[in-house]
Structure 1
Amino acid sequence: MTEHSKIPLSGHDDAAHEAENQPQKQAPTGRTRGPGESLIERAAGRFDFNAIIARPGPLPVEPARKAPAPAAPPAAVPAAPTASGAPASVPPPFAAPLAAEQEPAPPLAAPPLAEPPFAAPIAFSDDHHPIDREHLREQGLIVPEGTVTALLEEFRIVKRQLLVQAADLRRQGAGAASQRILISSPHPGEGKTYCALNLALSIAAEKESEVLLVDADFAKPSILSALGLPGGPGLMDALMDETIDPAACVLGTDIPGLWIMPAGDATINDSEYLASSRTAEVLERLTENAPRRMVIFDSPPALAASPAAELAKYVGQTVVIVRADRTGQGALEDAISLLGACPNVQLLLNDAQFSPSGRRFGSYYGYKG
């Protein structure tokens, strides 16, 4: 018969086997072990695992971190001794905020630019030549300081329309050209010089304007003789010689606001000189810094000489004189075509014996009642 031996138990199983063969003992906890306890419970009671397992102690306290040592304050600058020998009081080093912590100062506003000084208008001659008023009356021209006549009222209406048009051109950016008016006609003998003189005399009476009458009829100048003024260098001399100041060629009169520029030396190349770049320089000089100065050109007839067409390129308005019962329609159309370089061409009827509107200025001002 085969002998059976028990398989030896290791560890806690041997302890448990021995515990089964011994009488029950009182557990260290005072609890009686019963027969239904598990091996682990009986082993725990025998070896008193509770005593072996260390009870948890308090959690280790992490040592407090040391704060970094404060930076050493900057060395205080010794205060300068006062008159008594004691050092003056110095504020604490950190009384004022550090420069890096201060807010940047706002940028200083730039001082306003100084306005440029007002430029005075170009000055003409200080010599004021007298104008014979009786000579003006004999020619049927407007007499300054005279009585109100039909002729005066008619040219008041004409000048007012031209001044209004000049103001409109200035607002539109026409520049100095808005201050220039060309007076011409298709043929000689239609009254262009007569109208140019009366228009200049009328504008000179304006309180805020002055007028420069330029004799641009180089072949047959007549402005000086009509006003009784002496001769001298004029427009053509300034065009031919660049060393001549155009302002030096202007003559003053004893009529306030009226200036005269002679035609100057006669030449067969007057149109060529007018077509050169020098013309723009001369004309700009005549109105330099003088926005209220009007310049009137008495040019030769458009169908008789070419300077009128050249001058039309530099003016803002052109007035074509049409003589009643003399100027033909074909001649008028040809003259307007030649003066087409000017954007504003207007007609003025001269020597008319009737008024379409029935106006009679002379009879109105001559009426007493």
Structure 2
Amino acid sequence: MEWIKQALDRARDERGHSSDANSRQAQKPSRGSHVKAPAEQKVVYSQTRRLNISVDHLRQNRVISGLSDPIVQQYNMLRTHVVQRMRANNWRSLAITSPIEGAGKTLTAINLAICLAREVNHTVLLVDLDLKRPRIRQYFSDEDLPGISDYLIEDAALADLFFNPGVERLVVLPGHKSLIHSSEMLSSPKVVSLVDDLKNRYPARIVLFDLPPVLACDDVLAFSPYFDSVLLVAEEGGTSKADLKRSIELLEKTEIIGTVLNKSRHNRQGYSYY
């Protein structure tokens, strides 16, 4: 899909970013600078809920459940691209979105988070900020677990909402109830304060935000000041050139780390990265 690469290149050119500028930016100190976690350090979850997740449940939902999964290598390649770009630019947070619904952004966010967490240099926090249609929890469990909406609306204790899905170095902050006024909530002082804490509490943490589709509502634009970069997920045969182009235009002031093309006919795993 050469047109995807051309659209991304054009967007980068219009922002006036050059490789020299990126190099200078990477050399600047940042509060988001990556600090490697000690390789021998084992994460102990003494307060975070640990879910006993069925492997069959994960497989039914196409979530990576082991190193033998056919899609693992493709997500490992995506992980490498993402980590290299984030380290080069001192980025700590990544939003995952798509132009329209049905492209597979949430599953991409989950599987990317799992592969990222398998590296010992950092921990990973996956946050469901698709407040209108929170779905991350369903990929892991059929339980009616509390989530971020309970914290935002009912002042639930934040510590009671996180769970570990059985993957070391990965913690999930799920959604729960659908929130109608989601864009206003995403730019509220309570969310801004929460996100700042999530990104900066641990120096070796990468935070992934699963956000709604760009063209479905204004949530991504409202939240864009609070993430470092964004990954676009498109579906071959489902995402039109016009929708992808419009999404890139709307995200012109953000750092687009790349585009994932799901269900690609040009890749036997149904996945490509640009």
- C-alpha displacement at 1:199, in angstroms? 0.5
Tell me whether 1:125 sits opposite 2:38 in the alignment: no
- Residue 71 of structure 2 aligns to a residue whose secondary structure is helix
The change in CA–CA distance for 1:189 and 1:298 in structure 2 (over 3 A counts) is same
Aligned match of 2:130 in 217, 224, 228? 217
Aligned residue number for residue 254 of structure 1: 166
Contact between 1:180 and 1:317, CA under 8 Å: does it hold in 2? yes
Q: Would the aligned equivalents of 1:125 and 1:251 in 2 still touch at CA under 8 Å?
A: no
Q: In 1, Cα distance between the equivalents of 2:138 and 2:113?
A: 16
* Cα offset, 1:247, TM superposition: 4.0
Report the count of equivalent residues: 226
- Relative contact order (C-alpha < 8 Å, sep 6+): which is higher? 2
Q: What are the superposed Cα offsets for residues 95-141 of structure 1, whole Å, 9 maximum, x if unpaired?
A: xxxxxxxxxxxxxxxxxxxxxxxxxx9x8833211122222222332
1:228 is aligned to 2:228: no
8 Å CA contact 1:155–1:202 kept in 2: the answer is: yes
Tell me by how many angstroms 1:240 deviates. Answer: 4.4
Alignment of 1:91-170 (within 5 A): 125-144=47-66, 146-147=67-68, 149-170=69-90
Residues 1:202 and 2:112 are matched in the alignment: no
- Aligned equivalent of 1:292, options 204, 217, 220: 204
Percentage of pairs with the same residue: 25
Counterpart CA distance in 1 for 2:153 and 2:89 is: 30
Q: Give, in whole Å, the separation in 2 of the partners of 1:231 and 1:319.
A: 29
Contact 1:159 1:203 in 2 (8 A): yes
| Residue type of the alignment partner of 1:187 | I
CA distance in 2, matches of 1:248, 1:284: 19
Q: Output the TM-score relative to the length of structure 2.
A: 0.74
- Residues 247 and 126 (structure 1), Cα distance of their counterparts in 2 relative to 1, 3 Å cut: closer
Give the gaps of 5 or more residues in structure 2: 1-42, 270-274
Q: 1:222 to 1:231 in 2, by over 3 A?
A: same
Q: Within 5 Å, which residues of 2 pair with 1:1-369?
A: 125-144=47-66, 146-147=67-68, 149-170=69-90, 178-228=91-141, 230-240=143-153, 246-355=158-267
- Residue 234 of structure 2 contacts residue 261 of structure 2 at CA under 8 Å; is this kept in 1? yes
Q: Distance in 1 between matches of 2:122 and 2:176?
A: 26
1:319 aligned partner, one-letter code? L
The answer to which structure has the higher strand fraction is 2
The 3-state SS of whatever aligns with 2:225 is coil
Q: How big is each residue's C-alpha offset from its partner over 1:293-333, in whole Å with a ceiling of 9 and x where there is no partner?
A: 11111111111122122222211111111111221111111
Which runs of no fewer than 5 residues in structure 1 stay unpaired?
1-120, 171-177, 362-369
Q: CA deviation at 1:343?
A: 2.4
Secondary structure at the aligned position of 1:266 is classed as: coil
| SS class of match (1:214) | strand
Any conservation in 1 of the 2:48–2:160 contact (CA below 8 Å)?
no
Report the TM-score, using the length of structure 1 for normalisation.
0.56
C-alpha RMSD of matched pairs (Å): 2.4
Query: In structure 2, how many angstroms separate the alpha carbons of the residues matched to 1:124 and 1:186?
Result: 39
Q: Quick one: distance in 1 between partners of 2:93 and 2:142?
A: 23
Rounded Cα–Cα distance in structure 2 between residues aligned with 1:237 and 1:216: 13
| CA 125–312 in structure 1, closer or farther in 2 if over 3 Å, else same | farther
